[in-house]
Structure 1
Amino acid sequence: MKPAEQSSCFDNEASRIERVRAHAEPAMRVDAPPRRRSAAKSWLKAIALTARPETQPHHLFADIVQDWARLQPDRPALLGHGQSFTYRELADRINRYAHWARGLGLHAGGTVCLLMPNRPDYLACWLGISSVGGTVALINTRLVGPSLAHCIDVAHADHLILAPECADAFDSARPHLHGVPKCWTFGAGGSGHDLDAALAAFEPRPLPPAERGDVTIDQRALLIYTSGTTGLPKAANVSHRRVLAWGGWFAGLTDASIDDRLYDCLPLHHSVGGVAAPCSMLFAGGSVVIAEKFSAGRFWDDVERFDCTVFQYIGELCRYLLKAPASQQEARHRLRLAVGNGLRGDIWETFAGRFAIPQIIEFYAATEGNFSLFNVDGKPGAVGRIPPVLAHRFPAAIIKVDADSGSPVRNTDGLCIACAPGETGEAVGRIGGAGRDGWGFEGYTDPAETARKILRDVFAAGDAWLRTGDLMMRDEHGYLHFIDRMGDTFRWKGENVATSEVNDTITDCPGILDASTYGVEVSGTDGRAGMVALVVKPDFDFGVFREHLSRRLPPYAIPAFVRLCPSLEMTDTFRKKKQRLIREAFDPSVVDDPLFFRDAATGDYHSIDPSVFTRIIEGAIRL
């Protein structure tokens, strides 16, 4: 479409867009049949969009927003309950952040930590700072104490942007910091420097190339944290190239357009909620509705109010919606697509049927990963497949691993063994150069952590593949199915929980002699809930335990179940044996030790007897 044709298209919808932007009333509903592009056309569109960066190495994502601001200045870009930006306003805000970052010298590769809840300004902030060469570390707002301090420390940041809502969390981390960065807060009442006043001092004009500097798509834009398989969160390097690739692939495969409005209630500090989802819409000139957090009670009200056509999900979110009472709003939407990950096959069709979702695109990706999978065909339960014609661009494989050690199984030549259809193994992606023979691996801030993720001599001497740490299975039709995480890490409430970090926190609690943390399956939920087996002193107090964990761990990492044991079994190498504990879980009919569950409302732990166990597995007790 030519610019003149685009402008005409934008002008024709000006009145509807203005009503949405002002939030005065729901947008005009257009009862048109939902569009659904074929899988082949979706792949072709995604390839075309992601080819652009190769010909424009200095054209960053902030420039894409600037392009749309010239073409459709008054169309809404980001919408929220308390703040909204048109494309012109978003571009202006990005430019102010760019001028501010340039003034601080961040163009030379400095880092800023961003600790802010979901809101439209979140994207303006990192887009502006990264556009002049700075790196923005996206910090999980649910972290507290030592975990939060660790994330700030590994970023080696000189500056921290701190929202007022996160001030208490930051105060809990201060005593554990190796160095306290310069704090910038919104408004004069905060404990840091007034960021609003600093931004207001700059004009919202774009920086000329000479001032912006020689920033290319291969430079680092973000640090996004991932638990990985062990230890504290790791900071993954994310280049401008990856930001553009995520936005382009999602825009192409979801057939995003200027007519779309995506509902995003996922955390903006995550790669999907904060980069892939919003950037797909901004790439296409559409709009993004940013909710502060997911609420089952408000979800359909928001979808109808903002006239959304797409929403981003994780599997647990879908289960929450299915468990919620039926409402009139859930049938009055104009959604054409739900896109996300973790929607298991057992609820896929029920979810699509109840809420009349015409199309679901399940995908698989990892922040630091070098390949993605997209289930564009809508096969229930699959995370996707790689079309044979694109196998050279996405060289991925599933290899056999030892169930106990997690080490790859090798043949007599010392090479790995590919799994046959129906066999479960670890997914790996070949490390290459920008899609020619596999995608690169940008690694973490810690070189040692980066090296641990690389597997060599996989299918040929000297080759290198990225270990995902994810168990998958390929069916006879070529579709891949996610099975579970390898190692000690488990996924709960959409978050990866590293048992070593949780266990270290627990053993610091008064009254505890030893602990072993693991994840257990709970009927009717996705992922695994945290459970800890404790060996305690006579003076152990659950009240002290509860308060200790609430100060040190985010809510999703606090164990949902506790087992009090006289001792813990150890291997010959002094590793705790967990398999029996995992198998027995929290069932009092097979466990003689005292068992307890955590009340989600109060944080208190209560005893589990057979009747309580039944209520938990039936979903009557919320974890």
Structure 2
Amino acid sequence: MTTSGLHFFYFILAAIIILLLLGLSVWCIVNRRLLCATIVTLPRDVTALTRLIKILGHFLYLQRNNLTVGQVFDKNARKDPEKVIIRFENERWTNEQVQILANKIANYFQSQGFKKGDSVALFMENCPEYLCMWLGLSKIGVVGALINCNLRLQSLQHCLEAVNCQAVIYNEELSHALQDVIAIGGLNGTPLYSLCPTENSPSITPSIHLRTELEKVKCSQPEIKEKVGFQDVLFYTYTSGTTGLPKAAVIKHSRYLIAATAMFCLNNFQKDDVIYTTLPLYHGAANVLGGGAALCHGVEIVIRKKFSARNFWKDCIHYNVTVAQYIGEICRYLLSQPPSEHDRNHQVRTMVGNGLRKEIWSEFVGRFNISEIIEVYGATEGNCNMGNIDSKVGAVGFIPSYLNWAIPYWLIKVDEVTGDPIRGKNGKVIVCGPDEPGELIGKIERNHPIRDYLGYADKSSSEGKVLENAFRKGDAYFRSGDILVRDIYGYFYFNDRKGDTFRWKGENVSTAEVESVISSLIGLADVVVYGVEVPGTEGRVGMAAIADPEQSIDFDELANEIFTTLPSYARPVFVRIVSQIQKTGTYKLQKTTYQREGFDVTKTKDKMYILIGKRYAELTQNVYDDIIKRKIKF
């Protein structure tokens, strides 16, 4: 190459480098917030990536070997048969004891003609046998249906029939509920297996005394007639039924194993941790965190029959708990307890769960000396799962924007009234920007253990949960139904449940936000907020149902505080006083009935109040009539 040619080459090379640097400079200037956010969150992202690689490696091992939950547990049991993995009251259950009972269950039900694909309902309160039951059934491919033990009559009957249960295993404490179902024509001929003590007889006739039958059965591994694998169905778990009848979500071995591993690795749990759960084992959160830690990772778990705010920290001290689980309103219930010497005299390092409101987050951590709060997000049947592993106040998880190609979760704009996705001129959905609320969706990839959406046992119940042709023709996304907000750092914050917002005076009102404010004003009592229709108005007027069994609320003070803390459109115009708020089995507050009854004084004997000016006055029949006649303006 000649000297002039060499000079020209260097000139072009220099020009290219300068242009690249200029382009990079322009990009950095335009995206300086994103660049700064990336740098700030780099330690968080590196930590998460390290743990995700560990999860991926374990997943590939499970998938390659076509393993089931039962096989993973048996491997752990062979390694350390004397390891205690379940504590319940004064009971200690070792790997060997759990394995023996699970094998007996498998052998017994196989001898009774149950086969792969059949379903057996578990209608039981929390106890060690609960985990053994569905584990044993799964070894022969029988699918456990984990029934909410609070259900009664038609709701209970619906859950049993939704998956065509061929049998029911129940605690004696719940026998009356099954008797009520029988009285309305349910369970016709369905075999019932009672777990009553050996010396007692079942209270339902006819019932089979399961403990007595199991004494006759061998405890060796069952002879498998039909192979059970990684992608087979493990059990059904039901949605809470906050609106409508419960739906049976399909959980495969693959989903359970990956979820249990993700909870263990992502949250950096250790083999010598002791995990405390007071949540019902029919619920996915307790079954995956508690059950998964014990069965899949050999961690000791402590099960309590029911949550007790008074005994929570006492139990943690007694059992040397290091990790405790929360959900719904549990943290608020604990804060509502009077200060005690037990508040900080424990070894709990980590609290993990969902639903801790940011308004009480710091207070909770400070009072109870909790080093780490791990807030997690995810629907039982969904594919949008994430976690907040660095205790960011209020966040339910995070995904760095530069990793959306690998973790395809998006917040999209939806119509405020209909809830339908808003599409642009090109027909594609519109992605929300930073700090803009939108519905969370997750890309569906068939046969993927995490991104697949299996839906419900009743396929018609899955309609409306899948969004098709979102970004390109032929794609499919799971609709979470939740409205979240994502900030510039990639953190997600729960905003509200789609449908749990209402529009008033041209503004959208978040029920969760108003509930949180009012609850904090009245000593953390239970509150639900909802919109009600008023004749002659557009949108919905805010109404709050407050649990106040002692009738102790000072309404003048409440009105003053509400005017101080809430904008005009968010202030509840109506207030209903109830003895207690209806709850689901996982302590989530229900508002369906209250919303349906509205402010109609003829539908309830509860006292109701209306905001007139800056004061709450009792809602009498005459005032109600004036509202209906549109004599009172809003």
Q: State TM-score, norm by structure 1.
A: 0.75
Q: 1:529 is aligned with what amino acid? A: V
SS across alignment from 2:395: coil
Classify 1:199/1:526 alpha carbon distance in 2 versus 1 (closer, same or farther; 3 Å).
farther
The equivalent residue for 2:374 is: 361
**Equivalent of 2:347 in 328, 334, 343:** 334
**Equivalent of 1:480 in 486, 492, 498:** 492
The equivalent residue for 2:323 is: 310
**Equivalent of 2:148 in 140, 157, 178:** 140
Shift of 1:49: 2.8
- The yes-or-no answer on 1:108 pairing with 2:116 is yes
Contact 1:599 / 1:605 at 8 angstroms: preserved in 2? no
1:367-378 to structure 2, matched below 5 A, reads 367-378=380-391
Classify 1:392/1:213 alpha carbon distance in 2 versus 1 (closer, same or farther; 3 Å).
farther
Shift of 1:267: 1.1
Q: 1:253 is aligned with what amino acid? A: L
- Using the TM superposition, name which of 182-191 and 130-139 deviates more: 182-191
Classify 1:228/1:578 alpha carbon distance in 2 versus 1 (closer, same or farther; 3 Å).
farther
- Using the TM superposition, name which of 602-611 and 177-186 deviates more: 602-611
1:603-618 to structure 2, matched below 5 A, reads 606-608=606-608
Classify 1:123/1:530 alpha carbon distance in 2 versus 1 (closer, same or farther; 3 Å).
farther
Distance in 2 between the 1:108 and 1:73 partners?
A: 28
Q: 2:473 is aligned with what amino acid? A: A
- The yes-or-no answer on 1:385 pairing with 2:381 is no
The equivalent residue for 2:580 is: 600
Contact 1:256 / 1:281 at 8 angstroms: preserved in 2? no
Contact 2:439 / 2:482 at 8 angstroms: preserved in 1? yes
Q: Deviations over 1:279-316 (max 9, x none)?
A: 03432211010011111111111101111111111141
**Percent identity among equivalent residues?**
32
Contact 1:520 / 1:585 at 8 angstroms: preserved in 2? no
- The yes-or-no answer on 1:523 pairing with 2:519 is yes
Classify 1:434/1:591 alpha carbon distance in 2 versus 1 (closer, same or farther; 3 Å).
closer
Q: 1:442 is aligned with what amino acid? A: L
Classify 1:122/1:584 alpha carbon distance in 2 versus 1 (closer, same or farther; 3 Å).
closer
SS across alignment from 2:519: coil
Instruction: Give runs of ≥4 in structure 1 deviating > 6 Å.
Output: 530-533, 584-593, 601-604
Contact 1:250 / 1:277 at 8 angstroms: preserved in 2? no
Distance in 2 between the 1:318 and 1:607 partners?
A: 29
Contact 1:457 / 1:464 at 8 angstroms: preserved in 2? yes
Q: Deviations over 1:217-257 (max 9, x none)?
A: 21111111114785211111111111111111111112223
- The yes-or-no answer on 1:349 pairing with 2:362 is yes
Q: CA RMSD in A?
A: 3.1
Contact 2:541 / 2:573 at 8 angstroms: preserved in 1? no
Distance in 1 between the 2:237 and 2:267 partners?
A: 24
Distance in 2 between the 1:415 and 1:121 partners?
A: 50
**Equivalent of 1:131 in 139, 142, 145:** 139
- The yes-or-no answer on 1:441 pairing with 2:478 is no
The equivalent residue for 2:57 is: 48
Classify 1:427/1:350 alpha carbon distance in 2 versus 1 (closer, same or farther; 3 Å).
same
The equivalent residue for 2:630 is: none
- The yes-or-no answer on 1:463 pairing with 2:475 is yes
Contact 2:414 / 2:422 at 8 angstroms: preserved in 1? yes
Q: 1:196 is aligned with what amino acid? A: R
1:411-430 to structure 2, matched below 5 A, reads 411-430=424-443
Distance in 1 between the 2:577 and 2:442 partners?
A: 39
Shift of 1:270: 0.6
Distance in 2 between the 1:526 and 1:392 partners?
A: 43
Distance in 1 between the 2:63 and 2:211 partners?
A: 36
Shift of 1:46: 2.7
Contact 1:96 / 1:128 at 8 angstroms: preserved in 2? yes
Contact 1:427 / 1:469 at 8 angstroms: preserved in 2? yes
**Equivalent of 2:314 in 301, 304, 308:** 301
Distance in 1 between the 2:282 and 2:63 partners?
A: 27
The equivalent residue for 1:207 is: 222
Shift of 1:600: 3.2
Q: 1:134 is aligned with what amino acid? A: V
Shift of 1:131: 1.8
SS across alignment from 2:329: helix
Shift of 1:326: 1.8
Distance in 1 between the 2:582 and 2:420 partners?
A: 41
SS across alignment from 1:117: coil
Shift of 1:176: 4.0
Q: 2:330 is aligned with what amino acid? A: L
Distance in 2 between the 1:340 and 1:182 partners?
A: 36
Contact 2:397 / 2:492 at 8 angstroms: preserved in 1? yes
Contact 1:394 / 1:439 at 8 angstroms: preserved in 2? no
Classify 1:356/1:40 alpha carbon distance in 2 versus 1 (closer, same or farther; 3 Å).
farther
Distance in 2 between the 1:134 and 1:301 partners?
A: 38
Q: Which runs of 5+ in 2 are unaligned?
A: 1-45, 503-513, 547-554, 560-570, 584-603, 617-634
Distance in 2 between the 1:463 and 1:170 partners?
A: 44
The aligned length equals 505
The equivalent residue for 2:295 is: 282
Contact 2:531 / 2:543 at 8 angstroms: preserved in 1? no
Shift of 1:263: 0.2
Q: State TM-score, norm by structure 2.
A: 0.74
Structure of larger gyration radius: 2
**Equivalent of 1:582 in 542, 547, 555:** 542
Q: Which runs of 5+ in 1 are unaligned?
A: 1-36, 491-518, 534-567, 572-576, 615-623
Contact 1:307 / 1:333 at 8 angstroms: preserved in 2? yes
1:31-110 to structure 2, matched below 5 A, reads 38-57=47-66, 59-110=67-118
Distance in 1 between the 2:394 and 2:126 partners?
A: 30
Q: Deviations over 1:137-185 (max 9, x none)?
A: 1110111111111111112111000111111122222244554321110
Contact 1:230 / 1:489 at 8 angstroms: preserved in 2? no
